[in-house]
Structure formats: structure tokens, C-alpha cells
């Protein structure tokens, strides 16, 4: 079954095609880049409306797939920016009607995780999901994904983007800060904010800007911010691994592109005898293939919605949607 997926939750409009074994047949993406500041939702949505027809054509051409071979159309229903989600949902509804194929809504966060899980070959890993809007440690249990820990304020990616813009850069900040951090040498003191399995970033942002006002160098700031925030993420991941007795961790979301975060989590996991997997960077960032693959799983469980029930859900949470394609693992010995 070939499934087409539409991603449009925030900055990236993307169309992906996958087949039965999660082989990515094609991905065609176009990212909205604000001239200055953060994402303007309506401008981003206008961008998506403009590029989607070309992206659908390109994805089909690159995959060498004809429209009649597509068996389902999946789209990201939420969470995300309302105008952006609406643009993608409209494209998905149109294709579903045009081709007379089932329409399958997908949760964007679950999609980041499912594509990473499929590519890792790991059956039941713990998931560290770090992206622009989200920062969550997740494990499957009882029919859905459960959030064990998360950010108490902003997502780690939004935090990095905000900091970089305040330092005079442009969106996205994560990759630029990563390059800058490589030149850093001095570790500046920043608030280390871990609360059980939760984290918070806004205190680090304030403290980093205060360092800057006192003349701290940008590379040192970038290095210190990465060290502190990724250590926090590594700590909550380790706590969750220990409590859930998991033997593997998988990374997903745009911040999982970061080499230091990957290395820190890998070293922690290997130190405990656990496996760690992070997908290729092109799969970590928003892409249509992850929506297509999760749509494939959902469709395989019989999920589809009529047009009138396909409304977007900008605040849809990871733990409010079912994952009926997952099976409950046998309980661990002694638990
Ligand atoms: P969400 O999944 O919460 O909706 P998102 O849609 O904003 O997030 P993603 O593409 O998953 O988007 O992630 C984008 C984020 O990843 C941005 O905040 C960006 O700065 C960050 N990012 C990308 N590459 C890197 C990197 N190398 N290091 C750190 N952060 C990065
Ligand atoms: Fe994302």
C-alpha cells in the first residue's frame, strides 16, 4: 500500500510517499523562512498554499508513482499553527476526494516517533522527542503514547531559535547555534532546570542574555547553552529509561539533528547497556514521509475519517490520540 502524507504544522510544507515496509519513496519539501523574527502563521500558510501543488507533483514524479497507485491520503491534524494546518488539511481533503481514497488524520508528534521507530528496527524504545514546539520523553503503554516528562515552558527548539534571534541571527537558530558552539571554550554558569522528568528553558534564556549584556562571547554562550540544556534532556531520558526498564532510546524532532545531543544521549544509553538510535537529519526535521508512514500504520488498523470529521486540532496532544497499531509488550519480569 502506497500512502501519501501531507505535513504543514509549522514552517515546512512537505509531501511524502512511503510503501509497506516504511521505504521512503519520495519527499518534496519547501520551508518558509521569515525575513526577520519568528514564524508569522498567516504568511507561512500563504507560503504553503503556494508551494503545495508543485510539491505533490514533484513527490509523485520522484517516486515514479501514478496517482491511482496511492491507496490513502494522510495529513497532520495537529498540533501546530491553525492557518498552516488548515492549508495542509485542505490539500489532503482535495486529493482524497479527487482520487477517491481514504483520508487519514495523523498526530505530528506521534509521526516524528513512528518514523524513527520504523527506521531503527527497535520494537518498543523510549522516545526523546525534541523539536521546535515540543520537548517530551515518551513511552508506549495501553493503546497510546504516554508523556513521562516534558518541558514546563517552551520547546527546546523554540528556545534555541529565540536565543539566536535575540543574538542577532535569523530563524532557525538550532543549526546556527550548533556551528557557533563548536568555536566555544568557556562554560558559563546557567540555571540547570530539571524537575523530576520535566525540564524548563526560559530561565536559561534570561541568564544567557544577561551574560551577553555583560560581554560574553557568542560562541561561549552557544557552547554553554547547548551543554546545559542537552545535559538536562539527557538526565530526564536516563531517569525514564531506568523507571520504565527500557533497553533502547530513539530520538526524533528537529533538535535531534544536533550532534552533541546525539552524542550525549548515546554515551548515557551505552553506559547503561541500552541502545540508541537517531535517524538521518532529513527525517528528524518535519517531513511528509513521517506523516505518510504513520498514516500507513493507522490505515492498517482501519482508521480513516469522513471529510466532515477531518477538522484540524492545533492543540492535539501526543497522549490524547490512540495508537491501535501498537501491541502491548509483555510485562517486564518482576514488575
Ligand atoms: P514540532 O514538532 O514541535 O511541531 P517543528 O515543527 O517546529 O516542531 P521540527 O522540524 O521538528 O519542527 O524542528 C525544528 C526545530 O529544530 C527548530 O527549532 C530548529 O532550530 C531545530 N533544529 C534543527 N536543526 C538543529 C540542530 N542542528 N541543532 C539544534 N536544533 C536544531
Ligand atoms: Fe516537527
Ligand 1, atom 9, residue with closest C-alpha: 254
Specify whether 56 is located in the same domain as 146. no
Answer yes or no: is 136 within a domain.
Answer: yes
Specify whether 257 is located in the same domain as 230. yes
Helix H segments across 39-155?
41-63, 82-99, 108-120
- CA of 157, closest atom in ligand 1: 18
Specify whether 275 is located in the same domain as 312. no
Answer yes or no: is 300 within a domain.
Answer: yes
Answer yes or no: is 176 within a domain.
Answer: yes
Q: Dihedral through CA 282, CA 283, CA 285, CA 291, nearest 10?
A: 130
At residue 61, the 3 state secondary structure works out as helix
Ligand 1, atom 12, residue with closest C-alpha: 132
List of residues 6+ apart from 100 with CB closer than 8 A: none
**Could you say which ligand is closest to the alpha carbon of residue 9?**
1
Query: How do residues 269-297 score in pLDDT, each as one tens digit?
Result: 999 999 999 999 999 999 999 999 999 99
Specify whether 233 is located in the same domain as 101. no
Using most ligand atoms within 8 A of CB, pick from 255, 314, 317 the residue to mutate for ligand 1.
255
Specify whether 262 is located in the same domain as 312. no
Domain end, chosen from 282, 308, 330, is at 282
List of residues 6+ apart from 214 with CB closer than 8 A: none
Answer yes or no: is 295 within a domain.
Answer: yes
Would you say residue 62 has pLDDT above 50?
A: yes
Specify whether 128 is located in the same domain as 203. yes
Specify whether 290 is located in the same domain as 278. no
Domain of residue 235, residue span: 120-282
Q: Using the mean position of ligand 2's atoms as its centre, give its distance from the Cα of residue 234 in Å.
A: 20
Specify whether 184 is located in the same domain as 304. no
Q: What are phi and psi of 169, to 5 degrees?
A: -95, -175
Report the distance separating Cα 252 and Cα 269, nearest Å.
16
Answer yes or no: is 335 within a domain.
Answer: no
Ligand 1, atom 7, residue with closest C-alpha: 132
CB distance 75 to 48 below 8 Å: no
pTM (2 decimals)?
0.93
Q: Is the dihedral of CA 104, 110, 114, 115 positive or negative?
A: positive
List of residues 6+ apart from 258 with CB closer than 8 A: 174, 178, 226, 230
Domain end, chosen from 282, 305, 330, is at 282
Specify whether 64 is located in the same domain as 154. no
CB distance 258 to 178 below 8 Å: yes
CB distance 38 to 255 below 8 Å: no
Would you say residue 333 has pLDDT above 70?
A: no
Residue 11 is given by DSSP the state S
Specify whether 41 is located in the same domain as 125. no
Share of the chain above pLDDT 90, in %: 95
Would you say residue 334 has pLDDT above 90?
A: no
Mean pLDDT across the chain, nearest whole number?
Answer: 96
Residue closest to 88 by CA, chosen among 3, 2, 5, 172: 5
Specify whether 174 is located in the same domain as 311. no
Answer yes or no: is 206 within a domain.
Answer: yes
- What pLDDT is attached to residue 335? 47
Specify whether 229 is located in the same domain as 276. yes
Answer yes or no: is 330 within a domain.
Answer: no
CATH number of the structural domain spanning residue 304: 3.30.420.40
**Could you say which ligand is closest to the alpha carbon of residue 181?**
1
Query: How do residues 105-151 score in pLDDT, each as one tens digit?
Result: 999 999 999 999 999 999 999 999 999 999 999 999 999 999 999 99
Q: Using the mean position of ligand 1's atoms as its centre, give its distance from the Cα of residue 180 in Å.
A: 17
3-state SS of 138-199 is EEEECCEEEEEEEECCCCHHHHHHHHHHHCCCCCCHHHHHHHHHCCCCCCCCCCCCEECCEE
Q: Using the mean position of ligand 1's atoms as its centre, give its distance from the Cα of residue 333 in Å.
A: 38
Report the distance separating Cα 146 and Cα 143, nearest Å.
9
Answer yes or no: is 333 within a domain.
Answer: no
What's the domain count of the chain? 2
- What pLDDT is attached to residue 39? 87
**Could you say which ligand is closest to the alpha carbon of residue 256?**
1
Amino acid at each position: 500500500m502506497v500512502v501519501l502524507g501531507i505535513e504543514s504544522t509549522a514552517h515546512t510544507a512537505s509531501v511524502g510517499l512511503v510503501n509497506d515496509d516504511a521505504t521512503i519513496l519520495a519527499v518534496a519539501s519547501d520551508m518558509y523562512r521569515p525575513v526577520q523574527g519568528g514564524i508569522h502563521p498567516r504568511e507561512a500558510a500563504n507560503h504553503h498554499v503556494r508551494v503545495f501543488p508543485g510539491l505533490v507533483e514533484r513527490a509523485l514524479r520522484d517516486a515514479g508513482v501514478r496517482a491511482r497507485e496511492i491507496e490513502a491520503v494522510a495529513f497532520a491534524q495537529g498540533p501546530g499553527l491553525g492557518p498552516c494546518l488548515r492549508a495542509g488539511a485542505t490539500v489532503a481533503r482535495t486529493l482524497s476526494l479527487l482520487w477517491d481514497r481514504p483520508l487519514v488524520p495523523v498526530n505530528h508528534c506521534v509521526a516524528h516517533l513512528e518514523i524513527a521507530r520504523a527506521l531503527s528496527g527497535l520494537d518498543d524504545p523510549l522516545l526523546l522527542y525534541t523539536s521546535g514546539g515540543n520537548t517530551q520523553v515518551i513511552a508506549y503503554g495501553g493503546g497510546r503514547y504516554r508523556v513521562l516528562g516534558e518541558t514546563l515552558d517552551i520547546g527546546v527548539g523554540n528556545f534555541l531559535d529565540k536565543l539566536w534571534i535575540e543574538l542577532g541571527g535569523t530563524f532557525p537558530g538550532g543549526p546556527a547555534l550548533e556551528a557557533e558552539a563548536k568555536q566555544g571554550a568557556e562554560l558559563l554558569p546557567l540555571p540547570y532546570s530539571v524537575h523530576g522528568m520535566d525540564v524548563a528553558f526560559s530561565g536559561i534564556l534570561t541568564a544567557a542574555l544577561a551574560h551577553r549584556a555583560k560581554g560574553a562571547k557568542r560562541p561561549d554562550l552557544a557552547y554553554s547553552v547547548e551543554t546545559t540544556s542537552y545535559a538536562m534532556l539527557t538526565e530526564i531520558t536516563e531517569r525514564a529509561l531506568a523507571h520504565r526498564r527500557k533497553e533502547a532510546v530513539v530520538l526524533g524532532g528537529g533538535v535531534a539533528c544536533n550532534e552533541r545531543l546525539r552524542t550525549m544521549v548515546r554515551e548515557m544509553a551505552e553506559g547503561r547497556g541500552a541502545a540508541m538510535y537517531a535517524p538521518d537529519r532529513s527525517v528528524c526535521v518535519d517531513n511528509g514521509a513521517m506523516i505518510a508512514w504513520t498514516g500507513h500504520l493507522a490505515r492498517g488498523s482501519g482508521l480513516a475519517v469522513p471529510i466532515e470529521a477531518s477538522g484540524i486540532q492545533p492543540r492535539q496532544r501526543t497522549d490524547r490520540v490512540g495508537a491501535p497499531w501498537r501491541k502491548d509488550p509483555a510485562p517486564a519480569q518482576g514488575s
